[in-house]
C-alpha cells in the first residue's frame, strides 16, 4: 500500500463476514437476576434470548497417570436480533457484541457497542475493565481458479524455489506491530472453502487485544476501541493490493 493511500475506505462489497468487540470487566456484581435486567433493556431490538452452558476439558498429566476432567464454565446469555445479523452476549465480567453480515460502517456500529457497554455497566456495576478485544473476519473471494498471491495480497506465504515455489492450501498466523502502542495485533491468514471451482477464497482474520497491568476506568474504553479499530483498519489495508480493492468497489464520499 502506498504511504499516501487513504485509510478508512468504504466498500460496496465489503468482505467482512463478522466483527466483534469483547470487553472483560473487573469485579462485576453478577447474580441470577442480571440477565433478566439486561434483557429488559434490549428486548425491543434483540427479542430472541438463548442460554448457553459452556463446557471445557482439562487434561492433567502426571508420572502415574493421565486424567481428563470436564469443567463446566459460566452461563452465557445471548440476545439476538430478529434477522440474526447481530447478537449481544453477556456473562460474569464479559460483554461481547457480534455483528454478522451485513456489516454497517464503523460509525454506525460503534454506537451499538457504546449502548451495550452502558447497559452492562448499569446492571452489573463493574469496578473497571481488564481487557478489550476487537476482531474482524474477512472472506475475500478471488474470481480465478489460479492467481498470483502478490497480485492481490501484500501478506502471503513464500515458498523457496528448492521446494517448487508453489503452494496449495495454507494457514499462517503472526503478531504484527500495531499502529497504536499498547495494543497487540494478531493476524491469521489462510485458505477458505471456495464458492465455486472457478474461484478462490481467503480468510483474513485480524484481532486487536488491549490490556493493561491494572484494571482501567470504563470511561477510557471509548479511546481504546477507536484505537483498536484504527489498528485493524491499517493492518487490513496494508495486507491487500489495489487489485483486491477493485473487487470490493470502493465508495467515494
Provide the 10 A C-beta neighbour count for residue 82.
10
Task: Look up cell 437476576; give the residue.
Answer: 33
State pTM to two decimals.
0.87
Q: What are phi and psi of 43, to 5 degrees?
A: -50, -40
**Which pLDDT does position 63 carry in this prediction?**
55
pLDDT tens readout for residues 123-158: 999 999 999 999 999 999 999 878 888 999 998 877
Strand order of the β-sheet with 86-91 is: 48-61, 66-80, 86-91, 94-100, 16-26, 128-142, 200-216, 183-192, 171-176
**DSSP-derived secondary structure for the chain:** --TTSPSS-EETT--EEEEEEEEEEES----TTHHHHHHHHHTTT--EEEEEEEEEEEEEE-SS-EEEEEEEEEEEEEEE-TTSSEEEEEETTEEEEEEESSP--HHHHHHHHHHHHHHHHHHH--SEEEEEEEEEEEEEEESSSS--HHHHBSS-----GGGTS---S-EEEEEE--SSTTEEEEEEEEEE--SSTT-EEEEEEEEEEEEEEEEE-GGGHHHHHHHHHHHHHHHHHHHB-HHHHHHH-EEP-
Q: How far apart are CA 13 and CA 101, in angstroms?
A: 11
The number of CA neighbours under 13 Å toward the Cβ of 179 is 16
**Which pLDDT does position 136 carry in this prediction?**
98
**Which pLDDT does position 70 carry in this prediction?**
47
The residue extents of the domains of the chain are: 1-27+127-253, 29-126
- Which residues, given as ranges, of the chain have pLDDT below 50? 1-6, 56-58, 69-72
Q: How far apart are CA 8 and CA 6, in angstroms?
A: 6
Q: How far apart are CA 251 and CA 10, in angstroms?
A: 5
**Which pLDDT does position 10 carry in this prediction?**
84
Bridge pairing between strands 183-192 and 48-61 = unpaired
**Which pLDDT does position 201 carry in this prediction?**
92
**Which pLDDT does position 56 carry in this prediction?**
45
**Which pLDDT does position 29 carry in this prediction?**
94
Amino acid at each position: 500500500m502506498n504511504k499516501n493511500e487513504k485509510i478508512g475506505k468504504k466498500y460496496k462489497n465489503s468482505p467482512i463476514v463478522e466483527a466483534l468487540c469483547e470487553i472483560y470487566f473487573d469485579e462485576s456484581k453478577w447474580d441470577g437476576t442480571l440477565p433478566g435486567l439486561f434483557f429488559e433493556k434490549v428486548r425491543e431490538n434483540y427479542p430472541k434470548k438463548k442460554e448457553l452452558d459452556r463446557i471445557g476439558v482439562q487434561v492433567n498429566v502426571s508420572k502415574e497417570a493421565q486424567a481428563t476432567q470436564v469443567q463446566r464454565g459460566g452461563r452465557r446469555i445471548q440476545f439476538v436480533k430478529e434477522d440474526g445479523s447481530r447478537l449481544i452476549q453477556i456473562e460474569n465480567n464479559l460483554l461481547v457484541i457480534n455483528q454478522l453480515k451485513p456489516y454497517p460502517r464503523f460509525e454506525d456500529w460503534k454506537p451499538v457497542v457504546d449502548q451495550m457497554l452502558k447497559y452492562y455497566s448499569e446492571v452489573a456495576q463493574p469496578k473497571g475493565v481488564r481487557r478489550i478485544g476487537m476482531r474482524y473476519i474477512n472472506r475475500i473471494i478471488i474470481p480465478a481458479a489460479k492467481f498470483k498471491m502478490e497480485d492481490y495480497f501484500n501478506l502471503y506465504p513464500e515458498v523457496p524455489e528448492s521446494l517448487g515455489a508453489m503452494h496449495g492450501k495454507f494457514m499462517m498466523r503472526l503478531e504484527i506491530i500495531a499502529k497504536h502502542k499498547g495494543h497487540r495485533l494478531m493476524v491469521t491468514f489462510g485458505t477458505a472453502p471456495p464458492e465455486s471451482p472457478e474461484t478462490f477464497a481467503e480468510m483474513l482474520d485480524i484481532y486487536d487485544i488491549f490490556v493493561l497491568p491494572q484494571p482501567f476506568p470504563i470511561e477510557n474504553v471509548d479511546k481504546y476501541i477507536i484505537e483498536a479499530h484504527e489498528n485493524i483498519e491499517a493492518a487490513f489495508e496494508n495486507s491487500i493490493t489495489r487489485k483486491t480493492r477493485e473487487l470490493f468497489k470502493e465508495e467515494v464520499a
